[in-house]
Structure 1
Amino acid sequence: MTGRVLLVSPAMSVSLRQARFDDGGPLDDTGVARARSAAGALPSAARVLVSPGERCRRTAAALGLDGVPVQELAGLDVGRWRGRTLDEVGAAEPEAVGRWLSDPGCAPHGGESVRDLCARVARWLANAQDLEGRTLAVVEPEVVRAAVVDALGIPDSVFWRLDVPPLTVTELSGRAGRWNLRLGRPPAAGGSD
């Protein structure tokens, strides 16, 4: 059996523009407009899932998708840093930010480590590989990064070196415990049948 997973990153949001740890803020007007213009451009799917975060749910809605929230696809829990900008946290806790960016097992914010996120997404992908038909999921950029780390079997230390632009599609197709990867296409080129 071959699993196919399309991961769609959320549209541009106010938090993303401000380099702010996600705070549940809204998409910005440009993000909403781009998502609406891409509605109908994604291929059909046997199931549509969504990260429970606000920007993913709003992106899915703007794309015309009725996704089922899946907790395993939630974004990285950054604990007490939520809602703050990276500059604010870096100024207040430079050593903690340095450790967090260099050690995937570190979680100085009191939330989840990158390593834990990667493990959570890897478990979800292992189950998705056995599902019949295509799975389409609107997920946070860090979930896309974690999926790429798992799909390629690369060290989680490269997590922060993977850029995930807003409103792009990363496609995984897998069989027998192995994934192939197609990265970062706009939804208009969302995936082949």
Structure 2
Amino acid sequence: MTSRVFLVSPAMSASLRRARFDDGGPIDDGGARRARAAAGSLPPAARVLTSPSVRCRETAAALGLNGPAAPELAGLDVGRWRGRTLDEVGAAEPEAVARWLGDPDAAPHGGESVRDLCGRIARWLTAAAGPDGRTLAVVEPEVVRAAVVHALDMPVTAFWRLDVPPLTVTALSGRAGRWNLRLGHPPDA
């Protein structure tokens, strides 16, 4: 049986607009409107999940999806950088940011490394490829990146080369560890 995993990125929020590490803020009014307009357009799924963040849970609700928050689908833990913008952190800690962006094993913020995130999401994706068919999850953009890195067997250094626009669907389908990918289409396509 072919497994299908649909990963939906969160709707626009002030944090996403300002390149702010998740600060627990909500999606903005425009993002909520776009998500409500796309409600009912996503493929049916046997299982619906969300990242635990406020913006993912609100996006799921606006899309008319009801599923539990899955801790294993949490976004990258950026430790003490949480709530700050990349520009703020870059100005205060330029060497740490350069190390973090250049070395997937680095975690100068005291949180999780990109390699650790990719490993966590790879384990989840392998488990999600079970016999129940379709899984739909509203997840942080970095979770989508990590899933793509795993699905295509890319080097972890490719993580930062993948852009995930707000409120887009990345579809993975496959069996026995081999995945095909459809990137970033809007929910109503």
Same-fold call, TM > 0.5? Answer: yes
Cα distance in 1 for partners of 2:181, 2:74 equals: 21
Q: Which amino acid is 1:36 matched to? A: R
1:141, CA displacement in angstroms?
Answer: 0.2
Alignment of 1:140-159 (within 5 A): 140-159=140-159
Cα distance in 1 for partners of 2:24, 2:160 equals: 21
Cα distance in 1 for partners of 2:159, 2:103 equals: 10
Percent identity at matched positions? 78
Q: Which amino acid is 1:181 matched to? A: L
Moved more, 63-72 or 140-149: 63-72
Alignment of 1:28-107 (within 5 A): 28-107=28-107
Map of 1:121 onto structure 2: 121
SS at structure 2 position matched to 1:87 = helix
1:19, CA displacement in angstroms?
Answer: 1.1
Cα distance in 1 for partners of 2:43, 2:160 equals: 29
Cα distance in 2 for partners of 1:178, 1:91 equals: 42
Q: Which amino acid is 1:169 matched to? A: V
Cα distance in 1 for partners of 2:101, 2:148 equals: 18
SS at structure 2 position matched to 1:88 = helix
1:173, CA displacement in angstroms?
Answer: 0.4
Query: What is the count of residue pairs matched by the alignment?
Result: 189
Q: What TM-score results when the alignment is normalised by the length of structure 1?
A: 0.97
Q: Deviations over 1:92-135 (max 9, x none)?
A: 00000000000000000000000000000000011111232210
SS at structure 1 position matched to 2:45 = coil
Map of 2:174 onto structure 1: 174
Q: Deviations over 1:149-186 (max 9, x none)?
A: 00000000010110000000000001111111000000
Cα distance in 2 for partners of 1:170, 1:131 equals: 20
Structure 1 runs (4+) greater than 4 angstroms displaced: none
1:3, CA displacement in angstroms?
Answer: 1.0
SS at structure 1 position matched to 2:132 = coil
Cα distance in 2 for partners of 1:109, 1:5 equals: 31
Q: Which amino acid is 2:78 matched to? A: V
- Residue pair 1:146, 1:159 contacting (<8 A) in 2 also: yes
Cα distance in 1 for partners of 2:160, 2:97 equals: 13
Give ranges in structure 2 of 5+ residues lacking alignment. none
**Root-mean-square deviation over aligned CA pairs:** 0.7
Q: Which amino acid is 1:53 matched to? A: S
Moved more, 173-182 or 126-135: 126-135
1:45, CA displacement in angstroms?
Answer: 0.7
